[in-house]
Structure 1
């Protein structure tokens, strides 16, 4: 809490890929008093031993001792978690933040005492290397905590406030995005192998290309990068023609749309 010198008590329910990555980064910062709960006791023991994080024996115990509760479980497990923590949240100013895809603020509010501060964050798996991206929104009571929750998630990457009506699209775009990039990388490697390049060499070339391109895209638009590489009548232009004939761009549009529809389905919309 600002100005008190006391560390915020933050608890994370679920120590999987997203919850675990956030926990490690927050522990490294030393800015928070952290607790974690999880259905796998071995995970709790590891975080307690390696990072000095308090291991709670139950979700209810974690919620009792924390001011900001981050629910990092699968969408279908959210309702059960909210039922468990309800008594600990009732009559307090605790805030509940969910990272579950497709689960709306309205659905979360239904499982908590009226007036609870509720926030939604949609991060991605790149959080594990501190280069993730996340979108965040809140209900009206949660707006006072938006800056603080955004600061928490900045420990694992870039954070952008976004209206909730765009969350399913953002889930499809950046939440699933690392898998799309990995699919493209694998296709490039396979294409290189087909052209006679040894697999390990192809992998190194593709990985370096993706890393370098990511840096370029911080300074330039995708069109600028594309135009710098593609000379009229050259190899890149030939590749573009072939990819367009194969429906590459249309496949990307369809894939993102399918993921967005699935996100809406997870929330019962």
Structure 2
């Protein structure tokens, strides 16, 4: 996700000399420098230099990172965290008093500038600083402002959401193969169907139920398939799965 944001900012016209990154692995740092021409510093140096700090680490590594940069975060800095489950309260408690923080849950379609990021402001973040964070994230897709109490639900729906879609796509492709279709043909059919269906939802503004009913003729093939899905409680399984993801997101804050 760190490289995704970096490449998105550069594609959106952000000057490379206005960016610095950190990277623990020397070989990876050299790769990023060669690819993007960006400077690589250590964590404390980067924190001391930057006005806006984007923290893109695993949740279990956040505490150590905050301890490392604590003394370098200035009063007018903005700290933006993209770590799942890490609350603004956690961030604020490990930074100097009064520092502005923003919690973000992005997702991987940001890699193709079609990401969905949800942002929540901490207690010391001004509207202007929240807008600043939104503008940065808009380089890789859409951004929505949500109350922080909804961030675990956001994680379950859009943060983890691409994996659910890929899971369904895998199953549909396998079904095509089982039915005698070449895998490449099945893949093309499924991917374009997914793209077309998503575009219909977005551009028509109609509820998915209405669009589904338009495809479902009484006693037809679609009705037979949907009945089978209902018999296997697929809808309930999806809801239960997302509830599990939301619970795990909440647990990460305490791990």
Q: Same fold (TM over 0.5)?
A: yes
2:195 is matched with which residue: 208, 211, 216?
211
Q: Report how far residue 140 of structure 1 moved.
A: 2.9
Q: Report how far residue 222 of structure 1 moved.
A: 1.2
2:84 is matched with which residue: 101, 114, 119?
101
Asked whether the equivalents of residues 27 and 34 of structure 1 are also in contact (C-alpha less than 8 Å), the reply is no
2:73 pairs with 1:54: no
Partner of 2:66: 82
Partner of 1:37: 22
Question: In the TM superposition, what whole-angstrom CA distance separates every residue of 1:78-99 from its partner, at most 9, and x where no partner exists?
Answer: 0111011111115x31111100
2:245 is matched with which residue: 242, 254, 259?
259
Partner of 1:119: helix, strand, or coil?
Answer: strand
CA distance in 2, matches of 1:236, 1:29: 42
Unaligned runs of 5+ in 2: none
Unaligned runs of 5+ in 1: 1-17
2:109 is matched with which residue: 121, 126, 129?
126
2:144 is matched with which residue: 147, 160, 167?
160
Partner of 1:142: helix, strand, or coil?
Answer: coil
CA distance in 2, matches of 1:241, 1:225: 17
Partner of 2:99: 116
Q: Report how far residue 214 of structure 1 moved.
A: 1.4
CA distance in 2, matches of 1:40, 1:237: 53
Partner of 2:226: 240
CA distance in 1, matches of 2:195, 2:26: 36
Partner of 2:211: 225
TM-score (norm 2): 0.95
Name the count of aligned residue pairs: 250
Tell me which stretches of 4 or more aligned residues in structure 1 moved more than 3 Å. none
Asked whether the equivalents of residues 27 and 53 of structure 1 are also in contact (C-alpha less than 8 Å), the reply is no
Partner of 1:13: none
Partner of 1:12: none
Q: Report how far residue 38 of structure 1 moved.
A: 1.2
Q: Report how far residue 257 of structure 1 moved.
A: 0.4
Q: 1:138-177 residue pairs with structure 2 within 5 A?
A: 138-143=121-126, 144-177=128-161
Q: Report how far residue 211 of structure 1 moved.
A: 1.1
